Structures are given as structure tokens and as C-alpha cells.
Amino acid sequence: YNDWPGLVAVGEETRCVGDVIAAVAADDEPTARAAAAAVRVEYEVLEAVLDPEVSIAAGAPRVNPTHDNVLGRSRILRGDAEAALRASAHVVKGRWTTQRIEHLFLEPECALAEPLSDGRLKLYTQGQGIFDDRRQVASFLGVPVETIEVELVPNGGAFGGKEDMSVQAQTALLAHLTGRPVRVHLTREESVRIHPKRHPITMDYEVGCDAEGHLTVVKAKMIGDSGAYASVGAKVLERAAGHSTGPYRVPNVDVEAIAAYTNNPPCGAMRGFGANQASFAIEGCVDMLAEEVGIDGWTMRDRNIVEVGDVTATGQILEAAVGLRATLEAVKDRYYEAKKAGKAVGVACGLKNTGIGNGVAEWGKCRLVVEEDGTVSLYNGYTEMGQGLLTVLSQFAAEVTGLDTRVFRPKVDSTFALDCGQTTGSRATFFGGIAAVSAAKRLREDLERGKTLGELVGQVYAADEVIDDTTALGADVPKIKTHTSYGWATQVCILDAEGRVERMIAAHDVGRAVNPDLCEGQIEGAVHMGLGYALTEELPTEDGMPVTFKMRDIGVLRARDTPPCEVILVEAPEPEGPFGVKGVGEIGLVPTAGAVAIALGEEDREEMHRRLHYACRQLDLSREERDVATSRILALPPAGISCALVENDADSNMREAAFLAEMRDQLGALGVEWRLVIVDPLSRFAGLDAESSNAAATRFVQALETLTQLPGRPAVLCAHHTTKNSRRDGRNDQTTVRGASALVDGARWVASLTNVADTTEHARFAIHKSNYAGRPDPLLLTREWGGALRRATLAEEAELDDGS
């Protein structure tokens, strides 16, 4: 569904902050930017719809005048989920949320349009589908497709963020109107505004198993924020539904996935395409069930992973090339060695489709052209984005023909009509490879007849290969085939004694590793991206506007902060793939967030009980009293990186979020009421950028105050951590400030702990009421075992009385 305008005209409606409303051209960039800054716009402000759950409710303002606010709805029904839930020995349920994140590819969007002497227009584009760019630009200009020539400029990364049009249409329009070459390139801020993001998805799951831990049922409802324009949002949620049970045998499935329009930035394709979000939820559920059954995470997965002959969530029978068990076995020793060493460890499995599937015909197209200089031009319809596609296609052609790889010169342009669609879905190597192999076989036939390349100059060897045997989601057909192939993986996350990720182990079934270095590079890069998704990255918005455009604040993980990653390649060749390969571009980060969250959840439980024991010891409680105190703590696994504490009911009244309500119900079943709620966001408040967002901080405090009004009127303790720049002795320093806010009987208390670093022996602690009371003399604290703090002795205070 194509609803994204290249320009919003005067009198039309803008739907998000990335809408383009004017374009200017000049002889140089400073003049062009000055002219753009001089444009003034008068708006009639309309009511924005920013919450996807509100968006799909009855009576919500319509975001798109030609489509209701439900962009897409996908449903999977197999077996009897309700009966299976009732019959299950163990059932867990909860709400998992994932955040919006930004692709942050190295090279922002750029295009160059050049009018040709014959009246045609040549467009140099870095899009993920140059023939889609060609068609859409022609439509935008109102000219025949044949008058637009396109050539790919290999881009500096995309990860799905360059599937949609960005600057191609405006660049072509300006060149078309002026008759002169025009180049448009975006700044980082403009790039963040314009292209789609990864979907924030709220996922409510109920999962059951029998007494031995065999999964019996998955029931889930997913609502994704697709933002203001369709992009491929409906397909992302469709893919999330199709991956909702993970790589596990589940006989009963009831899943609904909804893509909702809002006035937030659009969301579309990003590496993983919905499988990441679903994996995060199902892996958390599987681990919770393992705890209920009394087995570890590896054993739980060993009892449930799919093999040849098993059925996926969509009902597809897996007929071949399922190497998942081999990946699970490959990490077994590392998993148990880490547990034996007393380290927190998480394990997660994943699957990711190769190809779009779901009833869509998929093409691979290739032309080999013998040139006068003794080389062979290799034309294909897919985009090189740094993943090594053109290298592998040259390898395929060389392997088939026996020629050196240096003979082949890959090209991507409109010399031939090689429209294969977008380079997406981990499919370029698979389908492009099928075509390259087919064309190479035709060239080989002539070479085997004794012909030389010199005698074959000008010959064109063509291959147009199509696979169109997949079935649409929910299709009533005898045999379901949702996707042509799948990649499979198991990953392990091991934490160090400080609770940081020490290392990752990633075992992946890649079909056949025709280029092991490229395979390992793809997986390592994907794990890096998955770690950022799990730990640090978010693109928060306020009133539909990203609150930051800085890479540091968005939280992309720096290379120097990336832990070691051991990659283990497993080969279960895919019969339909060229030389047995499968797509490897996306599966590398599908299980990462789940593995990290599980490890952190394990570490958090152990750390919480350890610190509580220490605190109780400071109160002179006996060991038995400490055991009683810590046994009355209820800890839930991570619910998500961007997780709301409160939500609005049907009457717009604030109430606790669903996962907190579930926690309160669990306590009620034990016959107790909660007295203290501890909130540890682990980092700055979500959405609180820089130091000046008072509105975000106010909303956060209101949420905490809402919790104090719940039955039992619990006290609320909130830990907070910030890092601010400061100057001292003429130097720029980073001073970490850790603190806590406590709401007790309507009074708010704030404590701060400063100068905390691994190399600091002592720290200062101060507490005051709200923001009004004067700050008393700070206490001096010294570090104890495990990082806990105790008050310094008088002798220590006297020694430090010089103010150091």
C-alpha cells in the first residue's frame, strides 16, 4: 500500500515530522540550505494520534484519510488454544514491549539526477531496489518508465532503512525542472527524520507446557506502531505473527498481530523484520516456563526445538535443512561451563525466513555479458549494501565456469530489465545466486565446446528464475509453504562478575558457508546490532518528534564497547539454494536480545538476593531472618527496554501497567499486599534527553506517584543514574551521579551519590526532602564486598576531611 507522498502540497495534510513540504536548488550547498531555512510554513494544528492502542480504538481520529487506522491485521489459528491453556501443567503470561530504534547506517541518503541529451533522466541511487526507485520516480514525474535510467551506487549500509523512497523523487524533480544535474544528500538529523524505524511492538503472551516442559500452546496479541505511512508495516507485523512461536514445536496457536497507523515517525523494514520482537517475547516465556518446570534454559530448548518433519507457527511442515539442533549442541559446553563458573548466562534460539514468501513470487535475474577486454560483466537486480553480495555472486559464477573470480565485473543498473524487487528478507544471495548459477551454466556450455572468451565477445547469457510456490498466511490450501527456506541459530550470552556482557557465542546454520569470512562478518555485525537493541539503543519521541538526533544519545553501541563474539558455523545445506546456501543477513540478531535479557534476568535475581542479604546483615538480622526477608521478594523477568509503568484506562484515568497488575495479582494469590515497589530503570528516564526535558521528568514522577495510590499504598523507591559533563581544574571530566527517589506517605525524598567509579574508594552521599530542604552535610561511604557501601568510620572521615 503506497501512501507516502514525495511532496506535501500547500493545502494538504502533513502526517509526521518527516514530511517534505518544499525543495530548493542552488549552485552551492550553503545557498541552498539558506534558501530552505527561509521557507515559512503556516499550519493548522490538528489532533495527533500517538498511541497505537488508542489509534485502533473506536472513535480515534483517522491518521490516513483514505484508510482506517488498522493498517494490517494478521491471524494464525491452529488447534484449540483455550483448551490447551486449561490443560497445561504450567502457564506463564506477560506483556513484552520493544522500543523504536534507528538504523544509523554509516552513509546518510543521497541521490544524483542528470538530464541526458536525448531527453531521458539518469538517476544514481543507493536504494535497496533500484527498479522500484525507477518506477516510483517515473510515476512522481508523470513520465514513462523507459525515460528514467537508473544505476546503483553501492551504499554505506541500509539494514532496511533504504527500501522506501527518501530523496530520489525530489532529486529527479529538481533536475527535471532545471535541466541541470542535481545532487541531494541528507544530514544525519534529516536522515533520522525521514526514513522509517524499527517497530515498537507491544506483545501480550500466554504460553503453556506440560509437566515435563513440552510446549503445548502459544496465545499472543501484538500491536505495532507503524507511524504515519504504510511503508511495509503490515508485512512486518505479519512476519512477527509468523515467528511468534519461535523455532519450537507448538501444537496450538492463536496469534493476532495488528499494524496501527499513528502520527509518529513511520516504521518499516529493519534487519529482522518483526522476527526480533517476537523472539524477545517467546524466549522470555520459554525461560519462565523452564523455571516453573525446574529445568535450565538449555534443557528446555532441547525438549522443544523443531526438526525435520515438525511444523512452524504458520503450519508449514519443515521438509529439509533444519540445523537448529546442531547449533544448540554447538553451544552446550560453553553454556554449562559458564553456569559451573557461577556466571549469569542466557541461551536463546531463533529462526528467520529466507525470502519474502507468503504467496509472493520471487525472482532472481542475471545477465552475463562477455566484454572485449576479456572480462565478463555480471548484471543482477539486487543491491550491494556492504554485505558482500556481489563478491558471492562472482564466486558462484567462477565456481560454475571454472574462470577466475577476477574475470567477473558485477554491475547493477537498468541496462537490462532485471527487476527483482527490494533487497530484503535475506534473499539476495539465495535468489540472485540461483540466477547467477543458471546464467553461468549457459556460459560454461560454450566454454566446454572449446570457445574462448575472445570468441564470445558480445554474447549475453540470460537467466530469469522464479520461485512462486509459497502460500499466503491463512490460505486454505492442502499444503502450507510460508517460506522457501529458513536460517536457524542458537546464541549464548555470558555476563562477568560486574553484570556486563563478557562474551557472546553465536552458532548459526547457514546452509553452506561458501565464503566463511563474509558469513562470520555478517553474524558478528548482526550480534553487535542485537546487543545495541538489547542494551542501549532507543529513539524516543515526544509529541511525535524524535527527542534527539545524536548518535551518542540514540545509544548505538560503539565498537570498543562490543564484547568478544565467538561464531560457530553449522552447515545443513538447503536443497533449493545455490550450492546449499541460506540467507544469513538477518538471523544473526534475532535471538540476541532474548539471550541478553535472560542472562540479565538471571543476574538480577542473584544480585538482588545477594544485596538484600548484605543489607539485612547491616541491620543485624540473623541468617534465618534474612532468608525470610529475601523469600518475600517477587521478581519478574525484563518486560522490555521501553516499558511503561502506568497506562490510561477507558476513562483516561492513570492505572498501573498490565505487568504490574499481574505482579500485584500474584502477590494477592500469596495472601500478601505489596509494601514497597522498587523501580530501577538502569539508565536515564526513557524519553528524557539532555538535562532540560522537565516535561518528561514530570510525567515520570506522576507515574511513580500513581503507584503510591494503589491498594496497600506502597512506598516507591526509584533508582536513577545520570552522567553529566563538568569542569574541574580547567579539565573536562565525566562525573557519574547515582541516586534514588523515595515516595513515602506523600512525601518525596531524593538521595544522591557522587563520584562513583571503579577506581574510587570512597563516595559521598546526601539526602534531602524533595527539592526544597537544604542539603545536610554528606555522609562518606566506603566500598564493601560486591560493591555495596557502608558508612565510613570516624577515622576514615577525619582522613578525608580535606575535601578530597
Q: What pLDDT, on a 0 to 100 scale, did the predictor assign at position 618?
A: 60
Domain extent listing, the chain: 29-46+103-194, 52-102+197-357+474-597, 362-467, 639-799
Mean pLDDT within 112-131: 96
Band of pLDDT at residue 386, cut at 50, 70 and 90: confident
- DSSP string covering 742-757, please? EEETTEEEEEEEES--
pLDDT digits (tens, 9 = 90+) for 758-802: 444 455 555 554 443 444 555 566 655 444 556 666 666 666 555
Helix, strand, or coil (residue 90): strand
With b for 16 or more beta-carbon neighbours within 10 A and e for fewer, the 127-157 pattern comes to bbbbbbbbebbbebbebeeeebbbebbebeb
CA dihedral 262, 50, 55, 158 (to 10 degrees): 30
CA 407 to chain centre: 39
Q: Is the pLDDT of residue 369 over 60?
A: yes
Q: Is the pLDDT of residue 185 over 70?
A: yes
Query: Half-sphere exposure of residue 194, counting CA atoms within 13 Å on the CB side?
Result: 23
- Distance between CA atoms of 215 and 48, rounded to whole angstroms? 42
Percent of the chain with pLDDT over 90: 69
Lowest mean pLDDT among 196-210, 487-501, 607-621: 607-621
Q: What pLDDT, on a 0 to 100 scale, did the predictor assign at position 726?
A: 39
Q: What pLDDT, on a 0 to 100 scale, did the predictor assign at position 518?
A: 93
Task: Give the containing element (helix H, strand E) for 364.
Answer: strand 362-370
Q: What pLDDT, on a 0 to 100 scale, did the predictor assign at position 86?
A: 98
- Distance between CA atoms of 759 and 26, rounded to whole angstroms? 55
CB 494, CB 467: distance < 8 Å: no
pLDDT digits (tens, 9 = 90+) for 627-661: 776 666 665 555 555 567 777 776 767 777 777 77
Lowest mean pLDDT among 152-156, 321-325, 633-637, 648-652: 633-637
From the list 636, 635, 341, 332, the residue with the least C-alpha distance to 495 is: 341
- Distance between CA atoms of 693 and 632, rounded to whole angstroms? 37
Q: Is the pLDDT of residue 804 over 70?
A: no
| More confident position, 527 or 748 | 527
pLDDT digits (tens, 9 = 90+) for 9-62: 999 999 999 999 999 999 999 999 999 999 999 999 999 999 999 999 999 999
- What CA–CA distances, in Å, run from 255 to 79, 517, 562, 763? 12, 38, 35, 51
Band of pLDDT at residue 499, cut at 50, 70 and 90: confident
DSSP state of 375: -
The Cβ of residue 712 has, within 10 Å, a number of other Cβ atoms equal to 15
The grid coordinates of residue 18 equal 518527516
Rounded to 5 degrees, φ, ψ at 41 are -125, 135
CB 378, CB 413: distance < 8 Å: no
Sign of CA dihedral 174, 177, 178, 179: positive
Domain range 362-467, its CATH number among 3.40.50.720, 3.40.50.300, 3.30.365.10, 2.40.10.10: 3.30.365.10
**Burial class of 595 by CB neighbour count within 10 A (0 to 12, 13 to 18, 19+):** buried
Rounded to 5 degrees, φ, ψ at 777 are -60, 135
Q: What pLDDT, on a 0 to 100 scale, did the predictor assign at position 669?
A: 75
Q: Taking each helix axis from N to C terminus, what angle separates 592-618 and 516-535, rounded to the nearest 10 degrees?
A: 40
| More confident position, 768 or 1 | 1
Q: Is the pLDDT of residue 245 over 80?
A: yes
CB 347, CB 598: distance < 8 Å: yes
Domain range 52-102+197-357+474-597, its CATH number among 3.40.50.2300, 3.30.365.10, 3.40.190.10, 3.30.450.40: 3.30.365.10
CATH class for the region spanning 29-46+103-194: alpha beta
Q: What pLDDT, on a 0 to 100 scale, did the predictor assign at position 103?
A: 96
Q: What pLDDT, on a 0 to 100 scale, did the predictor assign at position 735?
A: 41
* One fold for 29-46+103-194 and 52-102+197-357+474-597: yes
How do 252-261 and 215-227 pair as beta strands?
A: parallel
Percent of the chain with pLDDT over 70: 82
**Burial class of 729 by CB neighbour count within 10 A (0 to 12, 13 to 18, 19+):** exposed
pLDDT digits (tens, 9 = 90+) for 508-560: 999 999 999 999 999 999 999 999 999 999 998 989 999 888 888 898 988 88
Q: Is the pLDDT of residue 397 over 50?
A: yes
Beta strands in 269-401 (DSSP E): 345-354, 362-370, 376-380
Task: Give the containing element (helix H, strand E) for 10.
Answer: none
- Distance between CA atoms of 583 and 509, rounded to whole angstroms? 10
Range of 78-87, 592-601, 732-741 with top mean pLDDT: 78-87
Strand partners, 598: none
**Burial class of 503 by CB neighbour count within 10 A (0 to 12, 13 to 18, 19+):** middle
Q: What pLDDT, on a 0 to 100 scale, did the predictor assign at position 712?
A: 77
- Distance between CA atoms of 505 and 522, rounded to whole angstroms? 14
DSSP state of 722: E
Sign of CA dihedral 687, 538, 331, 296: positive
Identity at 715, one-letter amino acid code: A
**Mean of per-residue pLDDT scores for the chain:** 87
The Cβ of residue 672 has, within 10 Å, a number of other Cβ atoms equal to 12
Mean pLDDT within 737-752: 63
